[in-house]
Amino acid sequence: MSENEASPKAAGPVQDLKDMNVLVSLCKQRGFVFPSSEIYGGIAACWDYGPLGIELKRNVKERWWRSMCDNDDIEGIDAAILMHPKTWEASGHVAGFVDPMVDCKTCKGRFRADKLEHAACGQKPSKIPGQGGACELTEPRNFNLMFKTHMGPLEDSSALVYLRPETAQGIYVNFLNVAQSARQKIPFGIAQIGKAFRNEITPGNFIFRTREFEQMEMQYFVKPGTDMEWFEKWKAKRIQWHYDNGIRKEKLRFHQHAGTELAHYARAAFDIEYEFPIGWNELEGIHNRGDFDLGRHQEFSGKNLQYFDEAAKEKYVPYIVETSVGCDRAVLTALCDAYRFDGDRTWLQMHPALSPYKVAVFPLMKKPELTEYTDRLYADLKKHFRCTTDESGSIGKRYRRQDEIGTPFGVTVDFDTLTNQTVTLRHRDTMEQTRIPAEKLIHVIGEKIENWGR
Ligand code: GAP
Protein backbone atom coordinates (compact mmCIF):
# COMPACT_ATOMS: atom_id res chain seq x y z
CA MET A 1 0.00 0.00 0.00
CA SER A 2 1.32 3.49 -0.79
CA GLU A 3 1.23 6.70 1.16
CA ASN A 4 -1.66 7.83 -1.05
CA GLU A 5 -3.94 5.09 0.25
CA ALA A 6 -6.35 5.97 3.06
CA SER A 7 -4.96 4.50 6.25
CA PRO A 8 -6.84 1.27 6.89
CA LYS A 9 -8.81 0.71 10.03
CA ALA A 10 -8.50 -2.85 11.21
CA ALA A 11 -8.78 -4.57 7.83
CA GLY A 12 -9.75 -8.15 8.58
CA PRO A 13 -10.46 -11.27 6.57
CA VAL A 14 -12.17 -10.65 3.23
CA GLN A 15 -15.90 -11.35 3.41
CA ASP A 16 -18.44 -12.03 0.67
CA LEU A 17 -21.91 -10.54 0.50
CA LYS A 18 -24.05 -12.05 3.25
CA ASP A 19 -27.06 -9.75 3.31
CA MET A 20 -28.86 -8.64 0.13
CA ASN A 21 -29.91 -5.39 1.87
CA VAL A 22 -26.27 -4.31 1.97
CA LEU A 23 -26.12 -4.62 -1.83
CA VAL A 24 -29.48 -2.86 -2.26
CA SER A 25 -28.17 0.12 -0.32
CA LEU A 26 -24.81 0.21 -2.16
CA CYS A 27 -26.63 0.03 -5.49
CA LYS A 28 -28.85 2.95 -4.58
CA GLN A 29 -26.06 5.09 -3.16
CA ARG A 30 -23.73 4.56 -6.08
CA GLY A 31 -26.31 4.72 -8.87
CA PHE A 32 -26.63 1.11 -9.97
CA VAL A 33 -30.29 0.46 -9.14
CA PHE A 34 -33.01 2.66 -7.63
CA PRO A 35 -36.47 1.66 -6.36
CA SER A 36 -38.91 2.55 -9.14
CA SER A 37 -41.13 5.66 -8.69
CA GLU A 38 -39.48 6.23 -5.33
CA ILE A 39 -40.84 9.76 -4.86
CA TYR A 40 -44.34 8.19 -4.73
CA GLY A 41 -43.28 5.58 -2.22
CA GLY A 42 -42.09 3.07 -4.82
CA ILE A 43 -43.97 0.24 -6.52
CA ALA A 44 -43.53 -3.33 -5.37
CA ALA A 45 -40.68 -5.25 -6.98
CA CYS A 46 -40.01 -2.68 -9.73
CA TRP A 47 -36.54 -1.24 -10.04
CA ASP A 48 -34.84 1.39 -12.22
CA TYR A 49 -31.27 1.06 -13.43
CA GLY A 50 -29.17 4.16 -12.73
CA PRO A 51 -26.14 5.51 -14.61
CA LEU A 52 -23.78 2.75 -13.47
CA GLY A 53 -26.36 -0.04 -13.44
CA ILE A 54 -27.27 0.53 -17.04
CA GLU A 55 -23.60 0.36 -18.08
CA LEU A 56 -23.17 -2.90 -16.20
CA LYS A 57 -26.37 -4.27 -17.74
CA ARG A 58 -25.34 -3.21 -21.24
CA ASN A 59 -21.99 -4.94 -20.74
CA VAL A 60 -23.76 -8.14 -19.70
CA LYS A 61 -26.10 -7.97 -22.70
CA GLU A 62 -23.31 -7.14 -25.13
CA ARG A 63 -21.22 -10.10 -23.95
CA TRP A 64 -24.20 -12.43 -24.25
CA TRP A 65 -25.15 -11.08 -27.69
CA ARG A 66 -21.60 -11.39 -29.05
CA SER A 67 -21.24 -14.89 -27.57
CA MET A 68 -24.33 -15.88 -29.59
CA CYS A 69 -24.53 -13.77 -32.73
CA ASP A 70 -20.81 -13.80 -33.60
CA ASN A 71 -21.38 -17.45 -34.54
CA ASP A 72 -22.33 -18.03 -38.18
CA ASP A 73 -25.10 -20.43 -37.15
CA ILE A 74 -26.95 -17.94 -34.90
CA GLU A 75 -29.13 -15.02 -36.04
CA GLY A 76 -30.60 -12.29 -33.84
CA ILE A 77 -34.11 -10.85 -33.79
CA ASP A 78 -36.13 -8.33 -31.80
CA ALA A 79 -39.79 -9.36 -31.76
CA ALA A 80 -42.75 -7.33 -30.47
CA ILE A 81 -43.79 -7.63 -26.83
CA LEU A 82 -47.47 -7.79 -27.82
CA MET A 83 -48.25 -10.91 -29.85
CA HIS A 84 -51.37 -12.46 -31.31
CA PRO A 85 -53.30 -13.86 -28.30
CA LYS A 86 -53.47 -17.29 -29.92
CA THR A 87 -49.68 -17.49 -29.41
CA TRP A 88 -50.31 -17.94 -25.71
CA GLU A 89 -52.99 -20.56 -26.21
CA ALA A 90 -50.60 -22.52 -28.40
CA SER A 91 -47.70 -22.13 -25.98
CA GLY A 92 -49.80 -23.46 -23.11
CA HIS A 93 -49.53 -20.23 -21.09
CA VAL A 94 -53.28 -19.43 -21.07
CA ALA A 95 -54.14 -22.81 -19.62
CA GLY A 96 -51.05 -23.63 -17.63
CA PHE A 97 -48.92 -20.62 -16.67
CA VAL A 98 -50.35 -20.59 -13.19
CA ASP A 99 -49.07 -20.62 -9.66
CA PRO A 100 -51.16 -21.91 -6.74
CA MET A 101 -51.86 -19.04 -4.36
CA VAL A 102 -53.06 -18.97 -0.75
CA ASP A 103 -54.09 -16.03 1.41
CA CYS A 104 -53.81 -15.82 5.16
CA LYS A 105 -57.03 -14.41 6.63
CA THR A 106 -55.16 -13.36 9.80
CA CYS A 107 -52.09 -11.48 8.54
CA LYS A 108 -53.54 -10.76 5.04
CA GLY A 109 -50.32 -12.16 3.54
CA ARG A 110 -50.41 -13.80 0.10
CA PHE A 111 -48.14 -16.74 -0.59
CA ARG A 112 -47.32 -19.32 -3.25
CA ALA A 113 -48.82 -22.54 -1.96
CA ASP A 114 -45.98 -24.61 -3.46
CA LYS A 115 -43.26 -22.42 -1.86
CA LEU A 116 -44.60 -22.00 1.65
CA GLU A 117 -41.41 -23.40 3.14
CA HIS A 118 -39.50 -20.39 1.70
CA ALA A 119 -41.99 -17.81 3.03
CA ALA A 120 -42.29 -16.13 6.43
CA CYS A 121 -45.48 -15.90 8.48
CA GLY A 122 -46.70 -12.29 8.54
CA GLN A 123 -47.04 -12.29 12.33
CA LYS A 124 -44.32 -14.71 13.35
CA PRO A 125 -41.52 -14.37 10.80
CA SER A 126 -39.65 -17.21 12.52
CA LYS A 127 -42.40 -19.59 11.32
CA ILE A 128 -43.59 -20.49 7.87
CA PRO A 129 -47.19 -19.52 6.89
CA GLY A 130 -49.66 -21.99 8.36
CA GLN A 131 -47.39 -22.90 11.30
CA GLY A 132 -48.28 -20.00 13.60
CA GLY A 133 -51.17 -20.66 16.00
CA ALA A 134 -53.26 -17.81 14.51
CA CYS A 135 -52.57 -18.61 10.83
CA GLU A 136 -55.69 -19.20 8.73
CA LEU A 137 -54.78 -20.11 5.16
CA THR A 138 -57.35 -20.32 2.36
CA GLU A 139 -57.51 -23.29 0.00
CA PRO A 140 -54.96 -22.87 -2.85
CA ARG A 141 -56.36 -21.38 -6.05
CA ASN A 142 -54.63 -21.05 -9.38
CA PHE A 143 -53.50 -17.64 -10.51
CA ASN A 144 -52.38 -16.96 -14.10
CA LEU A 145 -49.15 -14.99 -14.14
CA MET A 146 -49.67 -13.25 -17.47
CA PHE A 147 -50.36 -9.50 -17.46
CA LYS A 148 -53.43 -8.68 -19.54
CA THR A 149 -54.26 -5.50 -21.41
CA HIS A 150 -56.53 -4.44 -24.27
CA MET A 151 -55.54 -3.47 -27.76
CA GLY A 152 -57.50 -0.54 -29.22
CA PRO A 153 -60.33 1.45 -27.64
CA LEU A 154 -62.64 -1.44 -26.71
CA GLU A 155 -61.95 -3.18 -23.45
CA ASP A 156 -63.82 -6.40 -24.22
CA SER A 157 -62.56 -9.96 -24.52
CA SER A 158 -62.02 -9.67 -28.29
CA ALA A 159 -59.39 -6.98 -27.63
CA LEU A 160 -57.54 -8.96 -24.95
CA VAL A 161 -53.76 -9.19 -25.39
CA TYR A 162 -50.97 -10.23 -23.05
CA LEU A 163 -47.60 -8.77 -22.19
CA ARG A 164 -45.28 -11.62 -23.16
CA PRO A 165 -44.18 -13.71 -20.17
CA GLU A 166 -41.12 -14.97 -22.09
CA THR A 167 -39.31 -13.83 -25.24
CA ALA A 168 -39.08 -17.37 -26.65
CA GLN A 169 -42.44 -17.35 -28.43
CA GLY A 170 -41.40 -14.38 -30.58
CA ILE A 171 -38.60 -16.61 -31.87
CA TYR A 172 -40.78 -19.67 -32.59
CA VAL A 173 -43.33 -17.73 -34.63
CA ASN A 174 -40.45 -16.32 -36.70
CA PHE A 175 -38.65 -19.62 -37.22
CA LEU A 176 -39.49 -19.90 -40.93
CA ASN A 177 -39.01 -16.17 -41.60
CA VAL A 178 -35.48 -16.32 -40.24
CA ALA A 179 -34.58 -19.68 -41.80
CA GLN A 180 -35.69 -18.46 -45.24
CA SER A 181 -34.45 -14.84 -45.15
CA ALA A 182 -31.07 -15.68 -43.60
CA ARG A 183 -30.80 -18.91 -45.63
CA GLN A 184 -29.93 -20.88 -42.51
CA LYS A 185 -29.87 -24.65 -42.51
CA ILE A 186 -30.55 -26.83 -39.50
CA PRO A 187 -28.87 -26.85 -37.02
CA PHE A 188 -29.06 -23.12 -36.37
CA GLY A 189 -30.16 -20.76 -33.62
CA ILE A 190 -32.10 -17.54 -33.10
CA ALA A 191 -31.17 -15.20 -30.25
CA GLN A 192 -33.13 -12.41 -28.67
CA ILE A 193 -32.87 -10.01 -25.73
CA GLY A 194 -36.02 -8.35 -24.51
CA LYS A 195 -38.46 -7.53 -21.77
CA ALA A 196 -40.78 -10.13 -20.28
CA PHE A 197 -43.56 -9.64 -17.73
CA ARG A 198 -44.92 -11.96 -15.05
CA ASN A 199 -47.43 -11.05 -12.39
CA GLU A 200 -45.43 -12.97 -9.77
CA ILE A 201 -47.30 -13.70 -6.52
CA THR A 202 -44.19 -13.33 -4.43
CA PRO A 203 -41.61 -11.20 -6.19
CA GLY A 204 -38.65 -10.00 -4.18
CA ASN A 205 -35.04 -10.31 -3.20
CA PHE A 206 -34.11 -7.13 -5.03
CA ILE A 207 -33.83 -7.73 -8.80
CA PHE A 208 -33.87 -11.53 -8.39
CA ARG A 209 -37.60 -11.89 -8.99
CA THR A 210 -39.48 -8.95 -10.45
CA ARG A 211 -42.65 -8.50 -12.46
CA GLU A 212 -40.90 -6.79 -15.35
CA PHE A 213 -37.52 -8.16 -16.36
CA GLU A 214 -35.30 -8.83 -19.34
CA GLN A 215 -34.48 -12.21 -20.78
CA MET A 216 -31.61 -13.27 -23.03
CA GLU A 217 -32.91 -16.34 -24.85
CA MET A 218 -31.51 -18.45 -27.64
CA GLN A 219 -33.48 -21.21 -29.36
CA TYR A 220 -31.39 -23.73 -31.28
CA PHE A 221 -33.28 -25.73 -33.96
CA VAL A 222 -31.97 -29.24 -34.52
CA LYS A 223 -32.82 -32.46 -36.30
CA PRO A 224 -34.85 -34.84 -34.06
CA GLY A 225 -32.52 -37.45 -32.64
CA THR A 226 -29.58 -35.03 -32.37
CA ASP A 227 -31.28 -33.00 -29.62
CA MET A 228 -29.58 -34.52 -26.56
CA GLU A 229 -26.17 -34.09 -28.14
CA TRP A 230 -26.90 -30.36 -28.70
CA PHE A 231 -28.41 -30.08 -25.25
CA GLU A 232 -25.13 -31.26 -23.69
CA LYS A 233 -23.12 -28.89 -25.91
CA TRP A 234 -25.24 -25.91 -24.90
CA LYS A 235 -25.05 -26.82 -21.22
CA ALA A 236 -21.25 -26.72 -21.41
CA LYS A 237 -21.18 -23.48 -23.45
CA ARG A 238 -23.53 -21.68 -21.15
CA ILE A 239 -21.77 -22.43 -17.88
CA GLN A 240 -18.50 -21.43 -19.56
CA TRP A 241 -20.05 -18.05 -20.42
CA HIS A 242 -20.64 -17.40 -16.72
CA TYR A 243 -17.08 -18.48 -15.90
CA ASP A 244 -15.79 -16.13 -18.62
CA ASN A 245 -17.66 -13.29 -16.95
CA GLY A 246 -15.48 -13.93 -13.93
CA ILE A 247 -18.16 -15.60 -11.80
CA ARG A 248 -16.46 -17.94 -9.33
CA LYS A 249 -16.75 -21.58 -10.36
CA GLU A 250 -17.54 -22.80 -6.86
CA LYS A 251 -20.59 -20.51 -6.77
CA LEU A 252 -22.14 -22.08 -9.88
CA ARG A 253 -23.67 -25.52 -10.28
CA PHE A 254 -26.12 -27.46 -12.41
CA HIS A 255 -29.46 -28.60 -11.07
CA GLN A 256 -31.35 -31.23 -13.05
CA HIS A 257 -35.13 -31.01 -13.26
CA ALA A 258 -36.64 -34.39 -12.65
CA GLY A 259 -40.19 -35.76 -12.78
CA THR A 260 -42.79 -33.19 -11.72
CA GLU A 261 -40.25 -30.36 -11.81
CA LEU A 262 -40.07 -30.65 -15.62
CA ALA A 263 -42.08 -27.95 -17.44
CA HIS A 264 -44.90 -29.15 -19.72
CA TYR A 265 -42.78 -28.51 -22.82
CA ALA A 266 -39.49 -30.02 -21.62
CA ARG A 267 -37.95 -33.39 -22.48
CA ALA A 268 -34.93 -32.52 -20.35
CA ALA A 269 -34.02 -29.46 -18.30
CA PHE A 270 -31.09 -28.23 -16.25
CA ASP A 271 -30.78 -24.98 -14.34
CA ILE A 272 -27.50 -23.22 -13.85
CA GLU A 273 -27.73 -22.15 -10.21
CA TYR A 274 -25.76 -19.49 -8.37
CA GLU A 275 -25.23 -19.33 -4.64
CA PHE A 276 -26.87 -15.96 -3.90
CA PRO A 277 -26.91 -14.62 -0.31
CA ILE A 278 -30.47 -16.06 -0.21
CA GLY A 279 -29.10 -19.52 -1.07
CA TRP A 280 -28.67 -21.56 -4.28
CA ASN A 281 -31.14 -20.37 -6.89
CA GLU A 282 -31.80 -20.51 -10.61
CA LEU A 283 -29.79 -18.18 -12.78
CA GLU A 284 -30.40 -19.76 -16.19
CA GLY A 285 -32.48 -22.56 -17.66
CA ILE A 286 -31.38 -24.93 -20.44
CA HIS A 287 -34.23 -26.94 -21.90
CA ASN A 288 -34.69 -29.61 -24.52
CA ARG A 289 -38.16 -28.57 -25.73
CA GLY A 290 -38.48 -31.27 -28.39
CA ASP A 291 -41.03 -30.39 -31.10
CA PHE A 292 -43.56 -29.06 -28.57
CA ASP A 293 -43.39 -25.39 -29.59
CA LEU A 294 -43.28 -25.62 -33.37
CA GLY A 295 -45.75 -28.50 -33.25
CA ARG A 296 -48.25 -26.45 -31.24
CA HIS A 297 -47.84 -23.32 -33.37
CA GLN A 298 -48.36 -25.46 -36.45
CA GLU A 299 -51.54 -26.84 -34.93
CA PHE A 300 -52.95 -23.49 -33.73
CA SER A 301 -51.97 -21.39 -36.75
CA GLY A 302 -52.72 -24.01 -39.40
CA LYS A 303 -49.40 -23.07 -41.05
CA ASN A 304 -46.93 -25.73 -42.08
CA LEU A 305 -43.80 -25.19 -39.95
CA GLN A 306 -41.95 -28.24 -41.21
CA TYR A 307 -38.40 -27.88 -42.38
CA PHE A 308 -37.17 -29.59 -45.54
CA ASP A 309 -33.76 -31.06 -44.86
CA GLU A 310 -32.05 -31.07 -48.26
CA ALA A 311 -29.12 -33.19 -47.12
CA ALA A 312 -31.34 -35.93 -45.64
CA LYS A 313 -34.14 -35.36 -48.22
CA GLU A 314 -36.77 -35.40 -45.51
CA LYS A 315 -39.29 -33.08 -43.88
CA TYR A 316 -39.62 -32.71 -40.12
CA VAL A 317 -40.63 -30.34 -37.35
CA PRO A 318 -37.29 -29.37 -35.76
CA TYR A 319 -36.57 -29.97 -32.09
CA ILE A 320 -35.51 -27.00 -29.99
CA VAL A 321 -32.76 -26.65 -27.42
CA GLU A 322 -33.30 -23.46 -25.45
CA THR A 323 -30.94 -21.43 -23.30
CA SER A 324 -32.72 -18.78 -21.22
CA VAL A 325 -31.05 -16.44 -18.77
CA GLY A 326 -32.54 -13.44 -17.00
CA CYS A 327 -30.48 -10.37 -17.74
CA ASP A 328 -31.34 -8.81 -14.39
CA ARG A 329 -30.43 -12.06 -12.66
CA ALA A 330 -27.09 -12.10 -14.47
CA VAL A 331 -26.52 -8.50 -13.29
CA LEU A 332 -27.45 -9.51 -9.73
CA THR A 333 -25.06 -12.46 -9.97
CA ALA A 334 -22.24 -10.19 -11.15
CA LEU A 335 -22.87 -7.80 -8.25
CA CYS A 336 -23.24 -10.49 -5.56
CA ASP A 337 -20.20 -12.38 -6.79
CA ALA A 338 -18.04 -9.25 -6.93
CA TYR A 339 -18.91 -7.84 -3.51
CA ARG A 340 -16.01 -7.85 -1.03
CA PHE A 341 -15.62 -6.28 2.41
CA ASP A 342 -12.60 -6.54 4.70
CA GLY A 343 -13.92 -4.70 7.75
CA ASP A 344 -12.76 -1.38 6.33
CA ARG A 345 -12.84 -1.33 2.57
CA THR A 346 -15.70 -2.37 0.25
CA TRP A 347 -14.93 -3.19 -3.34
CA LEU A 348 -16.56 -4.91 -6.31
CA GLN A 349 -14.07 -7.48 -7.58
CA MET A 350 -15.69 -7.62 -10.99
CA HIS A 351 -14.34 -8.69 -14.37
CA PRO A 352 -13.24 -5.43 -16.09
CA ALA A 353 -15.36 -6.35 -19.10
CA LEU A 354 -18.42 -5.92 -16.86
CA SER A 355 -17.24 -2.90 -14.84
CA PRO A 356 -19.05 0.36 -15.74
CA TYR A 357 -15.70 2.18 -15.84
CA LYS A 358 -12.37 0.51 -16.63
CA VAL A 359 -10.14 3.38 -15.49
CA ALA A 360 -10.43 6.35 -13.12
CA VAL A 361 -7.95 9.19 -13.60
CA PHE A 362 -7.14 11.56 -10.73
CA PRO A 363 -4.95 14.54 -10.02
CA LEU A 364 -3.29 13.94 -6.64
CA MET A 365 -4.44 17.41 -5.63
CA LYS A 366 -6.67 20.08 -7.11
CA LYS A 367 -3.76 22.18 -8.49
CA PRO A 368 -4.03 23.62 -12.01
CA GLU A 369 -0.78 22.03 -13.24
CA LEU A 370 -2.01 18.59 -12.10
CA THR A 371 -5.59 18.96 -13.30
CA GLU A 372 -4.48 20.14 -16.74
CA TYR A 373 -2.24 17.11 -17.14
CA THR A 374 -5.03 14.86 -15.83
CA ASP A 375 -7.55 16.31 -18.30
CA ARG A 376 -5.21 15.58 -21.22
CA LEU A 377 -4.54 12.04 -20.01
CA TYR A 378 -8.24 11.47 -19.39
CA ALA A 379 -9.11 12.58 -22.93
CA ASP A 380 -6.46 10.21 -24.31
CA LEU A 381 -7.52 7.19 -22.23
CA LYS A 382 -11.18 7.82 -23.04
CA LYS A 383 -10.50 7.00 -26.66
CA HIS A 384 -9.65 3.44 -25.58
CA PHE A 385 -11.51 2.66 -22.35
CA ARG A 386 -14.63 3.82 -20.56
CA CYS A 387 -13.09 6.23 -18.02
CA THR A 388 -14.07 8.58 -15.25
CA THR A 389 -12.25 11.31 -13.38
CA ASP A 390 -12.65 12.80 -9.93
CA GLU A 391 -10.82 15.59 -8.16
CA SER A 392 -12.88 16.07 -5.00
CA GLY A 393 -11.78 14.80 -1.59
CA SER A 394 -8.62 13.02 -0.51
CA ILE A 395 -7.03 10.62 -2.99
CA GLY A 396 -7.70 7.75 -0.56
CA LYS A 397 -11.43 8.55 -0.53
CA ARG A 398 -11.48 8.80 -4.30
CA TYR A 399 -9.88 5.35 -4.60
CA ARG A 400 -12.51 3.96 -2.23
CA ARG A 401 -15.34 5.45 -4.27
CA GLN A 402 -14.02 3.73 -7.37
CA ASP A 403 -13.49 0.46 -5.47
CA GLU A 404 -17.16 0.47 -4.50
CA ILE A 405 -18.27 0.72 -8.13
CA GLY A 406 -15.80 -1.87 -9.37
CA THR A 407 -13.40 0.33 -11.39
CA PRO A 408 -10.39 -2.00 -11.82
CA PHE A 409 -7.69 0.63 -12.41
CA GLY A 410 -6.89 4.01 -10.88
CA VAL A 411 -4.32 6.38 -12.42
CA THR A 412 -2.92 9.22 -10.34
CA VAL A 413 -1.07 12.24 -11.64
CA ASP A 414 1.28 13.89 -9.11
CA PHE A 415 4.12 16.40 -9.14
CA ASP A 416 6.66 13.77 -10.27
CA THR A 417 4.50 13.21 -13.34
CA LEU A 418 5.23 16.75 -14.46
CA THR A 419 8.97 16.13 -14.43
CA ASN A 420 9.37 12.48 -15.44
CA GLN A 421 6.03 11.72 -17.22
CA THR A 422 5.26 8.71 -14.99
CA VAL A 423 1.97 8.04 -13.18
CA THR A 424 0.78 5.72 -10.43
CA LEU A 425 -1.31 2.79 -11.60
CA ARG A 426 -3.40 1.37 -8.76
CA HIS A 427 -5.13 -2.01 -8.83
CA ARG A 428 -8.58 -2.28 -7.28
CA ASP A 429 -8.32 -5.84 -5.92
CA THR A 430 -4.85 -5.72 -4.36
CA MET A 431 -4.46 -1.95 -3.91
CA GLU A 432 -1.00 -2.52 -5.37
CA GLN A 433 0.51 0.61 -6.90
CA THR A 434 3.12 0.71 -9.64
CA ARG A 435 4.84 3.62 -11.29
CA ILE A 436 4.73 3.53 -15.07
CA PRO A 437 5.36 5.94 -17.95
CA ALA A 438 2.10 7.68 -18.85
CA GLU A 439 2.63 6.83 -22.52
CA LYS A 440 2.50 3.09 -21.69
CA LEU A 441 -0.84 3.23 -19.86
CA ILE A 442 -3.05 2.30 -22.81
CA HIS A 443 -0.93 -0.72 -23.63
CA VAL A 444 -0.49 -1.91 -20.03
CA ILE A 445 -4.17 -1.53 -19.08
CA GLY A 446 -5.33 -3.05 -22.38
CA GLU A 447 -3.12 -6.10 -21.81
CA LYS A 448 -4.27 -6.54 -18.21
CA ILE A 449 -7.93 -6.46 -19.27
CA GLU A 450 -7.26 -8.85 -22.16
CA ASN A 451 -5.51 -11.36 -19.88
CA TRP A 452 -7.82 -10.93 -16.87
CA GLY A 453 -8.22 -14.15 -14.88
CA ARG A 454 -5.67 -16.08 -16.95
N1 GAP B 1 -38.43 -19.49 -22.10
C2 GAP B 1 -38.15 -20.24 -20.96
C3 GAP B 1 -38.33 -19.49 -19.72
O4 GAP B 1 -38.81 -18.37 -19.72
P5 GAP B 1 -37.93 -19.61 -17.15
O6 GAP B 1 -37.13 -20.59 -16.33
O7 GAP B 1 -39.32 -19.35 -16.71
O8 GAP B 1 -37.86 -20.15 -18.63
C9 GAP B 1 -35.84 -18.17 -17.70
O10 GAP B 1 -37.14 -18.24 -17.19
C11 GAP B 1 -34.98 -17.22 -16.89
O12 GAP B 1 -35.61 -15.94 -16.80
C13 GAP B 1 -34.77 -17.65 -15.45
O14 GAP B 1 -33.70 -18.56 -15.34
C15 GAP B 1 -34.45 -16.33 -14.77
O16 GAP B 1 -33.08 -15.99 -14.96
C17 GAP B 1 -35.30 -15.35 -15.55
N18 GAP B 1 -36.54 -15.04 -14.84
C19 GAP B 1 -37.69 -15.77 -14.82
N20 GAP B 1 -38.62 -15.17 -14.07
C21 GAP B 1 -38.07 -14.02 -13.60
C22 GAP B 1 -38.53 -12.96 -12.76
N23 GAP B 1 -39.76 -12.93 -12.27
N24 GAP B 1 -37.67 -11.95 -12.46
C25 GAP B 1 -36.41 -11.95 -12.96
N26 GAP B 1 -35.93 -12.91 -13.76
C27 GAP B 1 -36.73 -13.94 -14.08
Task: Choose from 51-60, 113-122, 196-205 the range with maximum mean pLDDT.
Answer: 51-60
Length of the chain: 454
Q: Is 168 in the pocket of ligand 1 (CB under 6 A)?
A: yes
Q: Locate the ligand 1 atom nearest the alpha carbon of residue 326 and give its number.
A: 16
| Ligand 1 centre distance from Cα of residue 215 (Å) | 7
Q: CA nearest 110: which of 210, 47, 213, 203?
A: 203
Q: CA nearest 192: which of 159, 222, 210, 215?
A: 215
pLDDT score of 395: 97
pLDDT score of 5: 63
Whether the per-residue pLDDT at 249 is higher than 80: the answer is yes
The percent of residues in the chain predicted with pLDDT above 70, rounded, is 98
Whether the per-residue pLDDT at 8 is higher than 60: the answer is no
**Beta-bridge mates of residue 312:** none
pLDDT score of 3: 43
Q: Is 286 in the pocket of ligand 1 (CB under 6 A)?
A: no
| Across 18-38, average pLDDT | 98
Q: Is 166 in the pocket of ligand 1 (CB under 6 A)?
A: yes
Exposed / middle / buried, residue 419 (Cβ in 10 Å: 0-12, 13-18, 19+) = exposed
Q: Locate the ligand 1 atom nearest the alpha carbon of residue 167 and give its number.
A: 1
| Ligand 1 centre distance from Cα of residue 430 (Å) | 36
| Ligand 1 centre distance from Cα of residue 332 (Å) | 13
pLDDT score of 236: 98
pLDDT score of 6: 52
Q: CA nearest 35: which of 22, 49, 54?
A: 49
The pLDDT confidence band at residue 1, using thresholds 50, 70 and 90, is: very low
Q: Is 210 in the pocket of ligand 1 (CB under 6 A)?
A: yes
Q: Which of 49-58, 255-264, 267-276, 295-304 has the lowest mean pLDDT?
A: 255-264
Q: Is 214 in the pocket of ligand 1 (CB under 6 A)?
A: no
Mutating to test ligand 1, I would choose from 255, 329, 333 the residue with most ligand atoms within 8 A of its C-beta, which is: 329
Q: Locate the ligand 1 atom nearest the alpha carbon of residue 271 and give its number.
A: 14
| Ligand 1 centre distance from Cα of residue 164 (Å) | 12
Q: Is 93 in the pocket of ligand 1 (CB under 6 A)?
A: no
Q: Is the peptide bond before 187 cis (omega within 30 degrees of 0)?
A: yes
Q: CA nearest 129: which of 139, 116, 148?
A: 116
Q: Is 293 in the pocket of ligand 1 (CB under 6 A)?
A: no
The pLDDT confidence band at residue 284, using thresholds 50, 70 and 90, is: very high
Distance CA 405, CA 30 (A): 7
Q: CA nearest 251: which of 13, 14, 12, 16?
A: 16
| Across 407-421, average pLDDT | 98
Q: Which of 63-72, 115-124, 301-310 has the lowest mean pLDDT?
A: 115-124
Q: Whose CA is nearest to atom 20 of ligand 1?
A: 209
Distance CA 53, CA 110 (A): 31
| Ligand 1 centre distance from Cα of residue 439 (Å) | 46
| Across 421-431, average pLDDT | 98
Mutating to test ligand 1, I would choose from 93, 97, 112, 166 the residue with most ligand atoms within 8 A of its C-beta, which is: 166
pLDDT score of 169: 98
**Mean of per-residue pLDDT scores for the chain:** 95
| Across 128-138, average pLDDT | 91
Is residue 328 a contact partner of residue 282, using CB atoms and an 8 Å limit? no
The rounded Cα 116 to chain-centroid distance in angstroms is 26
Q: Is 284 in the pocket of ligand 1 (CB under 6 A)?
A: yes
Q: Which residue has the higher pLDDT, 356 or 45?
A: 356
Answering whether pTM is above 0.75, one says yes
| Across 163-174, average pLDDT | 98
Note the pLDDT tens digit of each residue in 296-320. 999 999 999 999 999 999 999 999 9
| Across 86-115, average pLDDT | 92
Whether the per-residue pLDDT at 385 is higher than 90: the answer is yes
Is residue 330 a contact partner of residue 319, using CB atoms and an 8 Å limit? no
Whether the per-residue pLDDT at 454 is higher than 50: the answer is yes
